[in-house]
Chains A and B, each alone.
Chain A
Amino acid sequence: MADLSRAIAERVKAARADRTPLFLTAGGSKRNCIGRRCDAGDFDLSAHRGVVDYQPDELVLTARSSTPLADIDAVLEDRGQHLSFEPPRFSPAATIGGTVACNLSGPARPWGGSVRDMVLGTRLVDGRGETLRFGGQVMKNVAGYDVSRFVAGSLGVLGVITEVSLKVLPRPEASETRVLELEAPAAIETMNRFAAQPGPLDAAAWLDGRLYLRASGDTHAVLSLVRAWGGESLPGAGAFWQALRDHALPFFDGDAPLWRLSVRSSAPIEGYPEPLLIDWCGAQRWLRSEHDREALQALTRAGGGHLSLFRGGDRDGEVKPVLSPPEQELHRRLKRAFDPDGILNPGRMYGWM
């Protein structure tokens, strides 16, 4: 439960002085996925952990970045609260800092918000070794640019996130899951149609001819909604959603490349290759195997979104969505604004950055 923020800042300053790039790591659960392989020595942050402040009535929890998600869960559960974005855990070591840096959210994301949405404040050490604090512990803060949310999903290329404050919410009173046997096109249509109706729908996924729908919240509301959906109740539903969240379903087994398509939730599914898993009410689609990147890009473009190679495949090549030349230039400038000498996670997001 140590506060190592000073040491972190010193280490970054030293690295900058002798131009040795650092690869930031804590739990190591996302080392081989999401970003590109990074050619830099490990900078192990895992000892910088601990919940610093938790005020259930204010709906705010503040933790050092390497605090394991499991520890945060335990603290919140005692007070009947949770992280509404259902952070995935690819291993028990997964930390809150890594979750923010990768902007990773689970099945509830379209309704419960993303981890980025729930960020209220961040402390970070930039590539100059300067300690900066943006946002805070209050719900609303529009002074200056919203850097605290901007660093969510930045894969450590802008700064070492050392502390985050998050909005936390009450756990739902009840949760029920129903399964409808449907093919993918009908499932996309159905899940979006249900989402356009009021009620506590809070997860919608499709796999192998089955549409999984979850409602969470007030008991009356949950029961009346699942009755309206029809379908079969799912025994062990909690384990299913958890396995989906943590990429622990058999769909995710093996070494075949895992592609992530982030698209308009109702985008047509025709032409998608199998195996296919749909989450986030259609807005996040997963594909396995050695697909041609160009072909998948065409699908995501048609769906108004973007493609990334989430896990496996060639991790020395580009894995994040393609950006236009002006966007690339802006990304380079922003990188320089935070990390002028390219000390932090070089090449982790883009080779050209």
Chain B
Amino acid sequence: MPLRDELDRRFREFLDAESLIADPESQRPFECDGLPLHRELPLLVALPDTIDQVRRILQICDELRVPVVPRGAGTGLCAGATPLRDGVLLGLAKFTRILEIDPLARIARVQPGVTNLAISEAAAEYGLYYAPDPSSQIACTIGGNVAENSGGVHCLKYGLTTHNVLGVELLTVSGESMSIGGAALDCPGLDLMALLTGSEGLLGVVMEVTVKLLPVPETVRVLVAGFPTVDQAGDCVSRIIAAGIIPAGLEMMDRLAIRAAEDYVHAGYPVDAEAMLLCEVDGTADEVDATAERVEQLMRAMGADSIAVSRDEAHRLLLWQGRKSAFPAVGRLAPDYYCMDGTIPRHRVSEVLREIARLADEAGLQVANVFHAGDGNLHPLILYDSSHPDQVAAAEHLGAQILELSVAVGGCITGEHGVGLEKLAQMPAQFSAAELRQFERIKEAFDPGLALNPGKGIPLLKHCQEYRSLERGPSDG
């Protein structure tokens, strides 16, 4: 019996017809994630809604040696959730229950398909929220956030996913349950939470997540400043930090991104500025007054020629909305856009943006820049038209150059979006062969048969002939 039919038959024993998608047309919505440059259709799409079903899917796939690709909401930007042609796509979006909110201990226990925003919404009645806030937070799932170690605009002060998750319930590749971390602040034994967070679905399927909740700050205010040059805005970021201020958020946008966002949400952004900073301060009312005043003075001293301060909550949200919808806003400027994610030492930002502009000119493409400036995490958005094959190639080439540039200035190829299929080729720019081999050994420790999301995240070197000659040592392998 062909493999697809065999899987289909066995899955049907516990999944209803609606939870099992075999025909290519109905599989279309699952052919890619948020990076449509990579598309594929799997053998089957399975959409279970109980842990036991997931366990049985994993067991059957293990037995039949079929690879499994976990998927949350499919908003990932590195082709991490792209199906494998010879594999099963395991959708976890039906696991949407919030299992517990403990307002005293300030933690929530949730299923993997709960959206990022839903956690904060559920915690709001206790005056609490979940801090990491990717711009995709309405749609993306906490399972995906854990898998990517996602960030957001408030990570400068409140940390990334890895700083805000305490535990997960995991199903291993063979369907075995494992509790990692929990309600305590640290893991027993080795810190498996550190390994799992950001592991891109390669080490296990996350079936439950315990997250930290923080008290909602009493007062929050955002300042938006326009600068005549990118250099001045960049220097202003350093000056704010050097003054001992850690803002709740510190974001930068360049001219093209400012204009696109302004056209999209009409937030009153400074459309004539070359660069714009959004700086959010939070705390008690007195503290916010004092800090906002200091930030405003620094912005003026660094040459800001317009400064807007949020008047009230609605205005604050509007000022943020432009930034949070920057990707779709820029997306309106061209048929397609390609989002990069390098992180660089902050003091090199002007130099890096200039070099990106030069490379873009060379490639004949436009690039808009959105930047988690406080964290040094750049999002150059390359505009292109996918109906022109040479533009696709040019965009991919320019993307690769930008990643390599990030490494060359002392940074890394991805700050929050992950490697997936997309950045595999750039991994050797950041890591030595020995380091890559070490990633592979970690993968094998969890998944000896390389069946969970194989071919994403880390290059599988052991299987390349060239690499075997580099292997040495008596007990390696």
Using CB atoms and an 8 Å cutoff, list the residues of chain A in contact with chain B: 16, 55-59, 80, 103, 109-110, 113-114, 116-117, 126, 128, 130-134, 136-147, 149-150, 152-154, 158, 169-171, 173, 189, 192-193, 195-200, 217-218, 220-221, 224-225, 262-267, 280, 283-284, 303-306, 308, 320-324, 326-327, 330-331, 333-334, 336-338, 340-341, 349-350
Question: Is A264 a contact partner of B183 (Cβ separation < 8 A)?
Answer: yes
Binds A, one of B223-231, B270-278, B415-423: B415-423
| Cα(A103)–Cα(B194), bound, Å | 12
Question: Is A140 a contact partner of B215 (Cβ separation < 8 A)?
Answer: no
Question: Chain B contact residues (Cβ within 8 angstroms of A): what range?
Answer: 35 or more
User: Which of B103, B242, B374, B438 has the most chain A CB within a 10 Å cutoff?
Assistant: B438
| Residues of A close to B396: CB separation below 8 A | none
| Residues of B close to A171: CB separation below 8 A | 244
Q: A208 CB to closest chain B CB, in angstroms?
A: 24
Question: Is A103 a contact partner of B191 (Cβ separation < 8 A)?
Answer: yes
User: Which of B151, B190, B215, B347 has the most chain A CB within a 10 Å cutoff?
Assistant: B190
> Which among A57, A320, A340 is the interface contact of B475 at CB below 8 angstroms?
A340
| Cα(A132)–Cα(B344), bound, Å | 21
Known contacts A110-B185, A152-B194; is-contact A144 B435 (Cβ 8 Å) = yes
Question: Is A146 a contact partner of B186 (Cβ separation < 8 A)?
Answer: no
Question: Is A143 a contact partner of B431 (Cβ separation < 8 A)?
Answer: yes
Q: B245 CB to closest chain A CB, in angstroms?
A: 7
Question: Is B106 a contact partner of A262 (Cβ separation < 8 A)?
Answer: no
| Residues of B close to A128: CB separation below 8 A | 473, 476
Question: Is B190 a contact partner of A132 (Cβ separation < 8 A)?
Answer: no
The 0/1 profile, CB within 8 Å of A marked 1, for residues 189-229 of chain B is 11110110111000100000000000111100000000000
| Residues of A close to B361: CB separation below 8 A | none
Q: B183 CB to closest chain A CB, in angstroms?
A: 4
Question: Is A266 a contact partner of B105 (Cβ separation < 8 A)?
Answer: yes
Does B159 interact with chain A (Cβ within 8 Å)? yes
Question: Is A337 a contact partner of B442 (Cβ separation < 8 A)?
Answer: yes
Does B412 interact with chain A (Cβ within 8 Å)? yes
| Cα(A334)–Cα(B412), bound, Å | 25
5 A-B pairs with C-beta separation under 8 A: A140-B376, A143-B431, A265-B105, A324-B179, A326-B176
Known contacts A152-B191, A196-B215; is-contact A57 B346 (Cβ 8 Å) = yes
Does B336 interact with chain A (Cβ within 8 Å)? no
Q: State the total of A-B contacts with C-beta under 8 angstroms.
A: 269
- Chain B residues 429 to 457 lying within 8 A of chain A, measured CB to CB, are 430-432, 434-436, 438-439, 441-442, 444-446, 457
- Chain B residues 153 to 187 lying within 8 A of chain A, measured CB to CB, are 155-156, 159-160, 162-163, 172, 176, 178-179, 182-187
Q: A75 CB to closest chain B CB, in angstroms?
A: 16
| Residues of B close to A284: CB separation below 8 A | 185
| Residues of B close to A337: CB separation below 8 A | 438, 441-442, 444-445
Q: Which residue of A lies closest to B202 (CB)?
A: A145
Question: Is A283 a contact partner of B104 (Cβ separation < 8 A)?
Answer: no
Question: Is B182 a contact partner of A304 (Cβ separation < 8 A)?
Answer: yes
Known contacts A140-B151, A143-B423, A153-B191; is-contact A114 B438 (Cβ 8 Å) = no
User: Which of A196, A283, A338 has the most chain B CB within a 10 Å cutoff?
Assistant: A196
Does B319 interact with chain A (Cβ within 8 Å)? no
Question: Is B190 a contact partner of A153 (Cβ separation < 8 A)?
Answer: yes
| Residues of A close to B186: CB separation below 8 A | 103, 114, 116, 153, 262
Question: Is B473 a contact partner of A340 (Cβ separation < 8 A)?
Answer: yes
- Chain B residues 234 to 249 lying within 8 A of chain A, measured CB to CB, are 238, 241-242, 244-246
Q: A224 CB to closest chain B CB, in angstroms?
A: 6
| Residues of B close to A80: CB separation below 8 A | 244
Question: Is B215 a contact partner of A197 (Cβ separation < 8 A)?
Answer: yes
Question: Is A114 a contact partner of B284 (Cβ separation < 8 A)?
Answer: no
| Cα(A158)–Cα(B413), bound, Å | 26
Does B34 interact with chain A (Cβ within 8 Å)? no
Question: Is A321 a contact partner of B458 (Cβ separation < 8 A)?
Answer: no
| Residues of A close to B203: CB separation below 8 A | 145
Question: Is A340 a contact partner of B163 (Cβ separation < 8 A)?
Answer: no
Q: A160 CB to closest chain B CB, in angstroms?
A: 14
